[in-house]
Amino acid sequence: MPHSQTYTVRWAELDPNGHMRHSAYADFAADQRVAWLASQGFDLKRFGELRLGPILFREETKYLKEIHGGEQIRVEGRVAGGTADGSRWTIEHTIYKADGRVAATVTVDGAWLDLDRRKLTLPPPELAQAMAMEE
């Protein structure tokens, strides 16, 4: 990995206090993950062909700085851990404010699900390679 996406926070992502709602952090992290997987050749169509999908076991968000509507943010993801065969993984997303300060981190633990058998499975070798941590 690391891979990043830039977003502008929309009104729909705000809470009544005027800052980004808690679930929007997870949504931006998920969008960045999906974009990164697509950049590796694993878009939604490819996952459908493979009858494979990512699932999450844990998601943790640490909030550090407020984010307001109209702000530009950058979400960077990196593989932070996992098994050698790529079957289980941890991805850490760092959400940056436009000035470079870290606003939050979103950490997810996941695996791959065989969509037909509804059981955990190994990813294809090229996906396992993409999920490998960089030294």
Q: What residue spans define the domains of the chain?
A: 3-131
The span from the CA of 52 to the CA of 35, in Å, is 17
Superfamily of domain 3-131: Hotdog Thioesterase (3.10.129.10)
Name the band, by pLDDT with cuts 50, 70 and 90, for residue 134. Answer: low
The DSSP annotation for 112-124 comes to EEETTTTEEEPPP
- Can you name the residues that pair with 106 across neighbouring β-strands? 61, 93
Give which of 79, 132, 77 is closest to 104, Cα–Cα.
77
What are 15-50's pLDDT values in tens digits? 999 999 999 999 999 999 999 999 999 999 999 999
In this prediction, residue 133 carries a pLDDT of: 67
Per residue in 107-126, pLDDT (tens digit) is 999 999 999 999 999 999 99
The pTM of the whole model exceeds 0.85:
yes
For the chain, the straight-line distance linking the first and the last C-alpha, in angstroms and rounded, comes to 11
